[in-house]
Amino acid sequence: MYSNMFDTHAHYTDRAFDADREELLAELQEKGVSLVMLAGCSTQDSAACAALANRYDYIYAAAGVHPECVDELPENWLAEIRRIAETEPKVRAIGEIGLDYHYDGYDAEKQKAVFTAQLELAQELDLPVILHVRDAIGDAMEILRKYRPRGVMHCYSGSAETAKEILSLGLHISFTGVLTFKNARKALEVLELLPPERFMLETDCPYMAPVPFRGKRCDSSMIAHTAEKAAEIMGMDTQQLIDRCCENGKKLFGI
């Protein structure tokens, strides 16, 4: 069993955990999970993440609007994200924010406007960002080159060449259980070029459960399987890699 695992991206406010959330969160530390970062998806979810983090010493939170939520924004959305980020002591990042052109009907211009507003807020508050980019890497990189935020590209699935530019901008890269999937060729190529100080582990739970749990509800304890695969590719001892990723996350999020 491993210890000191930091799940740098989780969604424990998701309805998938409604039946046993408290029981699960009470047991995670016994399973080797030392820290969890909750990622907010909307103003309401960000407030819920902060409230949940306040109840557990080992849980922290990020406040932000996910690109898939931009069509449901209240008028005061940015002021509300600012309020949560400024007043909630366990909030250590703005996120998850970014661009997502995966599903038909997306509004690219609105997504970009919401993304840039949150990047500016993060700069103003001197907070790192948690980035979500799917099928929109060109537009996202153009914006990131302009703002050059501190932060992490979560659930990375792009090319090695793009990863090199992401690293050149000073960003971290994190991976989910995708690393354990049979079709994870691109992710494994990126992993081979990542310096250990710029790499983090995550689950994105309840989604993206690693093999052998693929298709089931994910939780932070399953990060051990992702860590084992990463350690194999990077030529590191698994516990040493877990420790390094934990330190990287703590440094980025000011924990």
Residue 198 has pLDDT above 90, yes or no: yes
Contact between 129 and 95 under an 8 Å Cβ cutoff? The reply is: yes
Residue 221 has pLDDT above 90, yes or no: yes
Contact between 18 and 254 under an 8 Å Cβ cutoff? The reply is: no
Contact between 61 and 32 under an 8 Å Cβ cutoff? The reply is: no
Instruction: Return the pLDDT at 46.
Output: 98
Average pLDDT score over the chain: 97
The pair of three-digit structure tokens given for residue 115, joined into one six-digit string = 């993304």
Task: Tell me the pLDDT tens digit for each residue of 239-249.
Answer: 999 999 999 99
Residue found under tokens 């069993």: 1
Contact between 67 and 102 under an 8 Å Cβ cutoff? The reply is: no
Closest CA to 171 of 197, 192, 191: 197
Closest CA to 205 of 189, 218, 215, 191: 218
pLDDT category of residue 183 using cuts at 50, 70 and 90: confident
Residue 187 has pLDDT above 90, yes or no: no
Residue 50 has pLDDT above 90, yes or no: yes
Task: Tell me the pLDDT tens digit for each residue of 53-107.
Answer: 999 999 999 999 999 999 989 999 999 999 999 999 999 999 999 999 999 999 9
Contact between 201 and 5 under an 8 Å Cβ cutoff? The reply is: yes
Element containing residue 240 per DSSP (H, E): helix 238-253
Tell me what percent of the residues of the chain surpass a pLDDT of 70: 100
Instruction: Return the pLDDT at 149.
Output: 98
Residue 185 has pLDDT above 90, yes or no: no
Task: Say if pTM beats, i.e. exceeds, 0.75.
Answer: yes
DSSP conformation class of 132? E
Domains annotated for the chain, with CATH where assigned, are 5-253 (3.20.20.140)
37: three-class secondary structure by DSSP: strand
> What phi, psi does 127 have (nearest 5°)?
-115, 150
Residue 130 has pLDDT above 90, yes or no: yes
Instruction: Return the pLDDT at 157.
Output: 84
Instruction: Return the pLDDT at 158.
Output: 87
Residue 220 CA to its chain's centroid (Å)? 12
Residue 172 has pLDDT above 90, yes or no: yes
Least confident of 35-44, 79-88, 181-190: 181-190
* pLDDT (mean) for 179-208: 93
